[in-house]
């Protein structure tokens, strides 16, 4: 089994959090004026959309390499619908455009990426999320 770990801590002097994985960092915050948010970073829904779209962008590259197809431009747009109280994501939709080089079939790459996309497949199947108090 492969696993990944990210860490988050508050950013001193703000109510935002900084997250990191290895040498990469990101700021997480609420919109300005919402529960102490200062708009310093992405909110959870945006991060969810980035996870869906970012993973798919990577998987387009993996699929293209597997199929021996060169890719040019890639464009991905993700929309996450939120409803209820507490607010939850109820659906996500992604629009994908990619340019296959040398006249190759770009749809073949998109279809393969759909098959192997970790985040989209995980969300479709549902995963348990455990939350423990560390003290």
pLDDT in tens, 16-40: 999 999 999 999 999 999 999 999 9
Tokens of 37: 């948010």
* 7-10: strand order across its sheet: 7-10, 17-21, 24-28
pLDDT in tens, 73-99: 999 999 999 999 999 999 999 999 999
Tokens of 56: 């798919």
CATH architecture of the region 43-126: 2-Layer Sandwich (3.30)
Q: What is the pTM of this model?
A: 0.93
Per-residue model confidence (pLDDT) at position 135: 79
What is the spatial distance between Cα 12 and Cα 9, in angstroms, rounded to a whole number? Answer: 9
Instruction: Specify whether the CB–CB gap between 73 and 30 falls below 8 A.
Output: no
Average pLDDT (52-57) is 98
Q: Where are the domains of the chain?
A: 1-42, 43-126
């Amino acid at each position: 089994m492969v696993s990944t770990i990210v860490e988050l801590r508050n950013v001193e002097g703000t109510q935002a959090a900084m997250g990191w994985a290895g040498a990469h960092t990101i700021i997480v915050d609420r919109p300005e004026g919402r529960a102490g948010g200062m708009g310093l970073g992405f909110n959870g829904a945006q991060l969810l959309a980035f996870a869906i779209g970012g993973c798919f962008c990577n998987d387009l590259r993996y699929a293209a390499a597997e199929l021996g197809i060169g890719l040019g431009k890639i464009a991905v747009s993700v929309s996450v619908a939120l409803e209820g109280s507490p607010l939850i994501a109820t659906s996500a939709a992604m629009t994908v455009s990619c340019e296959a080089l040398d006249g190759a079939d770009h749809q073949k790459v998109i279809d393969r990426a759909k098959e192997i996309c970790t985040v989209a497949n995980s969300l479709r199947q549902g995963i348990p999320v455990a939350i423990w108090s560390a003290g």
